[in-house]
Amino acid sequence: MALTFDVIGTAVKKRDGAEKVTGRTCYLHDVALPRLAHGKILRSRYPHARLVRIDTSRARTLPGVLAVLTGDDVDTQPFGFAKDQRALKRGKVRCIRDEVAAVAAETPTIAEEAAALIDVEYEPLPAVFDPFRALEAGAPLVHEELATNAHPLRYQFSHGDVDRALAEAAAVVEDTYRLSFVTQACLGTMVAIADWDLAGNLTMWTTTQVPFLYQRDLGETLGIGGERVRVLQPPVGGNFGRGLDIYPIDVIAALLARRVHRPVKIEFDRVEEFVACPGREPCLIRLRTAAARDGRLLAREAHVTIDNGAYTSWGSTTPYVMLSTVAGLYRVPNVRFDTTIVYTNNPYSGSMRGYGNPESTFAVESQMDDLADRLGLDRLELRRRNASKPGDVNPQGFVLTSFAMTECIDAAAEAIRRDAPPLRPGWARGVGYAGMFHVGGGARIYRSDGCGAIVKLDDFGRVALLTGASEIGQGSETVLAMIVAETLGVPLERIDVVNSDTSVRPWDVGTHASRTTFVAGNAARLAAEKVRAQLLAMAAAQFDEPVANLDVRGGWVFVKREPQRRLAYEAVARSGHFKGGGRVLVAEAFYDPPTAMLDKDLQGNVSAAYASAFQAALVDVEPETGKIEVRLIASAHDVGRALNPPAAEGQVHGGIHMGLGYALSERLVVEEGQIVTQSFMDYAVLKADDMPDIVVRLVESVDAEGPFGAKGLGESGVIPVAAAVANAVKDAIGVRFTELPITPARVRAALAGRSAAKDGR
């Protein structure tokens, strides 16, 4: 018998939607505190230089200036993934993002004027911007104390007999794929506010995605301990992975606030956001794929080179996910994977939506098409023959429970066949396909991947969910409220979500890896189940019935065999508050998924569920101009169960927009360590009227471990887009592009080169 739900599976508007579209939302940029001072950071003019002298005297005497700090004025601990940078640099600078000094002043204008008055004498040093040159003998050293630019972080994996598979294969394709810097392009730039109380406790207002890890790391950096750091999270104007680390802006705001004994706010303007925001890492992927005559995949071998930049943030850990795609996107029995991560004098990169997966999927799915061509097989048929199935265990030990890859292939293939606009004269048309494999139930990259929840039912029937999960615009507050309402059997409008203050909310490892619905949702469900049991136990005495005979649904507690015998749930709760020996209806739960961290050999079942998706792109290309127009995207996603279908579809739409920018237009231009693209005039984010028609199909596999069967979806939409578009372009004009973005200039150059080659013959 099919389950029926009152709330789950219905169309529910985002709880914060009306506030945002009417302009009522108070973002962190809007926060103003009493006696608020404003900070400004002075950055290096050179990508590599000795700091000979920093003269702050003119800045200090400017009226309205409260404090000026340099690296010599403060004592902080190094921070970051590899603990290889400090907030204010000493001795030398290693990239143009480096923070040389900071100012606190009465107004932002005064702070900016003061920063411009700081006189810094540099001794320029030879710099290195190419990771391959950085490894050559005699190359300038970014960190002299390491005696090498080779990063100690390395990912190596081997499973099966790759060499034998390559030797025995009917077809082997190999190529090199180049991916450039891109940025999140959040409408809300990076901002931090710091305030110390008289007891030496720090309150931070931040857009972090990992408030409890941020709390710990910031405390360690400042030398005070996380217990003295309170983290508040106002609504954010976008993150997309940007908020997974602490950054100099956070530490510097705290240092300035401690010095001036006033709250200090630092906010980036758009130019500074392009310069200082850590986006998607540049990398080079060398990939070989082998297949048998019937199309069965035999082996993949990959080597990834990552430009680490001057310091280590999350961009250098993306091979963790790149490997999962190389080993897990379709069945492949033999896999070898290696990495080279290199310090350069370029800006460092962080985490960005998809976290390495769009990069590796671009390479893997490009080779799936090329293999189909080499073997003379239909491109969809090749993928169907190799599609992973429920029950599979891939080479890394990932256990696929619910997994609907084949169903997604069929759904996207059917949807792309809908009526398409007519092909214009002079244009060529192609269809491209790409799949996706990603974690759908979190990813255990820390010892704990858990989230806490507290559910409280009050005297008036309102339910408060205190959750560790952070709302960063993805709609988590809405779906968590739906889970609690369905579990308790109470109206959705009676659910409040509290999640913005580390001093009251329970612990959570953070918002990343498409984990919130799955992990935080399970925690909320478990806590709500406990409160439901308490409510029914209280009602049992009032009905003089065993608990097993009672149920609660639609806001009523009733006797199952006599539904007319019922009480409003809030009346039951109230009776417990007002009688002698009464009780508060409150419960807590902590959900830590049944997963394991990868071992030293990069094996282990890191997620409680895995998600699949498949996209088809209909693309038109005008050879004369090189212009590419994506006319239709069909995107099918295995979501487990769609808890809020319109919200799920919206996530996919947003991911497709980001993926199309990655494929066709977005590139953060970095030349000789300098960031050239410093405005939206230069950085080509797609506009609304650039978007194609989009058809989304939600495929429900109903995962046994997920809350009401749901799996994570937050990153799935962006991951396969660039690969599908590149394959469509090849289908249209016969040219394989191995570098993103695929711009009109690159199309024209490729076609001209092909024409010249033909003429030469």
The residue among 248, 307, 278 whose CA lies nearest residue 102 is: 248
CA distance 472 to 453: 18
Quick check: bond before 278 cis, omega within 30? no
Give the three-class secondary structure for 202.
strand
CA distance 323 to 356: 9
For residue 680, the model assigns a pLDDT of 94
CA distance 12 to 644: 6
The residue among 545, 575, 541 whose CA lies nearest residue 562 is: 545
Pairing of strands 49-55, 92-93: antiparallel
CA distance 103 to 57: 12
CA distance 732 to 623: 10
Instruction: Give the containing element (helix H, strand E) for 650.
Output: helix 645-664
CA distance 572 to 200: 45
- DSSP for 318-333 reads THHHHHHHHHHSS--S
CA distance 105 to 59: 10
Q: What is the percent of the chain with per-residue pLDDT over 90, rounded to a whole number? A: 94
For residue 761, the model assigns a pLDDT of 56
CA distance 495 to 484: 8
Taken in order of first residue, the domains within the chain and their CATH numbers are 31-125+189-236+243-276 (3.90.1170.50), 283-443+599-760 (3.30.365.10), 450-591 (3.30.365.10)
Q: 378: left (phi > 0), else alpha (psi -120 to 50), else beta? A: beta
For residue 756, the model assigns a pLDDT of 78
Provide CB contacts within 8 A for 643, sequence distance 6+. Answer: 8, 9, 479, 482, 483, 517, 521, 707, 708, 710
What phi, psi does 757 have (nearest 5°)? -65, -40
pLDDT, tens only, 204-217: 999 999 999 999 99
pTM of the model: 0.96
For residue 629, the model assigns a pLDDT of 98
CB 508 within 8 A of CB 453: no
CA distance 482 to 491: 9
For residue 580, the model assigns a pLDDT of 67
- Averages of pLDDT over each 10 residues, the chain, 761 residues: 86 94 95 97 98 98 98 95 95 98 98 98 98 98 97 97 98 98 96 98 97 96 96 94 96 98 98 96 98 98 98 94 98 98 97 96 98 98 98 98 98 91 95 98 89 96 97 94 98 97 96 94 98 96 95 97 96 82 89 95 96 98 98 97 97 97 97 96 93 97 97 96 98 98 97 81 56
| Token pair in block for residue 79 | 């921070």
Token pair 């405005």 in the structure block, residue = 679
CA distance 685 to 557: 52
CA distance 114 to 66: 10
Provide CB contacts within 8 A for 48, sequence distance 6+. Answer: 92, 93, 94, 95, 124, 125, 126, 127, 128, 140, 142, 345, 673
For residue 446, the model assigns a pLDDT of 86
